[in-house]
Structure 1
């Protein structure tokens, strides 16, 4: 990724959300994980559980509603419920099959549907476990010199950059940043793996 050699870069989503969801369902059916040559770092286990619960509740509710609605509404109701359940399940699987990716020279922090963040390891000074609430979701400004990239407001890994780096947000706003927060299912393991690569740069 030559475009990230100077500092962190926001990578916008290139496909419509429906295609991301369908792609996730296909990867689950074929038992594939979307990691392109790097070490996967799973994330968003909590949100995955939440949307799967929503999908289960949606199925239970749909069965109850199907018993009381007029027969003429059965087909439209079925279509709506299939779409709703498909979105919940597909979104959960999108997060599961699109882990963060640690490569030799870059850490790719991924959200599946909210855009990704590419962080060149040459710009990283340190990484640590740090449980924080970083309001919002996706890639966003948190406070002076800090951005976060995650599916929810919970982050548990903090990257400290080697010096202030200019970062351009999705809408073109520019800020100098010194820290990046993100979420990992096993933050201690993520920090250990990233630190190993930092200790032996290639």
Structure 2
């Protein structure tokens, strides 16, 4: 079958691009408005660093996508988070948009691993067996269900049902 990849960042990419385009304008305006050289230099460095970080985030969201290969479902958020789900543990899969009150890209709520984008998920995976999800500083949790966002949830559901 090979690996199929799926985007998840269409909702946040436009905002990142806007900030990336506005950053040079901000640097230029600061240079015009601030009279002290030492402050202009410090703000120039911070503005340039901001632009680099925005470009890096855009690249990471493009490079590290959700994927389905012959053995696993790979759920990612840039390089910050990667979770591997064995396809043998995948039970039912369906589309279903859910709104979440907390704006965390990843959390576990009542045994559900939630990977949201802009407070929402649109793919639901019921697991046939509990799996452990390590959220770093937030600890490891046992999960029996996964909800995540995909830009094209229908394709993800079809790929997981094969």
- Assess same fold via TM > 0.5: yes
Corresponding position of 2:5? 40
Contact 2:93 2:160 in 1 (8 A): yes
Equivalence map 1:93-112=2 (5 Å)? 93-112=59-78
For 2:60 and 2:142, locate their aligned partners in 1 and report how far apart those are by CA, in whole Å: 31
Equivalence map 1:42-81=2 (5 Å)? 42-70=7-35, 72-73=37-38, 74-81=40-47
TM-score normalised by the chain length of structure 2: 0.85
Matched, 1:137 2:104: yes
* Change beyond 3 A, Cα 1:160–1:101: same
| Aligned with residue 148 of structure 1, among 104, 114, 117 | 114
Q: Secondary structure at the match of 1:46?
A: coil
For 1:58 and 1:174, locate their aligned partners in 2 and report how far apart those are by CA, in whole Å: 38
CA-to-partner distance for each residue in 1:133-166, whole Å, 9 max, x for gaps?
A: 2333243112x23111245432111101114x04
Q: Secondary structure at the match of 1:137?
A: coil
Contact 1:117 1:139 in 2 (8 A): no
Equivalence map 1:1-202=2 (5 Å)? 38-70=3-35, 72-73=37-38, 74-134=40-100, 135-142=102-109, 144-163=110-129, 165-169=130-134, 170-171=136-137, 173-196=139-162
Q: Secondary structure at the match of 2:26?
A: helix
Higher relative contact order at CA 8 Å, sep ≥6: structure 1 or structure 2? 1
Structure 2 unpaired stretches of 5+: none
For 1:151 and 1:116, locate their aligned partners in 2 and report how far apart those are by CA, in whole Å: 15
* Change beyond 3 A, Cα 1:68–1:175: closer
Structure 1 unpaired stretches of 5+: 1-36, 197-202
For 1:83 and 1:98, locate their aligned partners in 2 and report how far apart those are by CA, in whole Å: 22
For 2:79 and 2:117, locate their aligned partners in 1 and report how far apart those are by CA, in whole Å: 9
* Change beyond 3 A, Cα 1:172–1:71: closer
* Moved beyond 4 Å, runs of 4+: 171-175
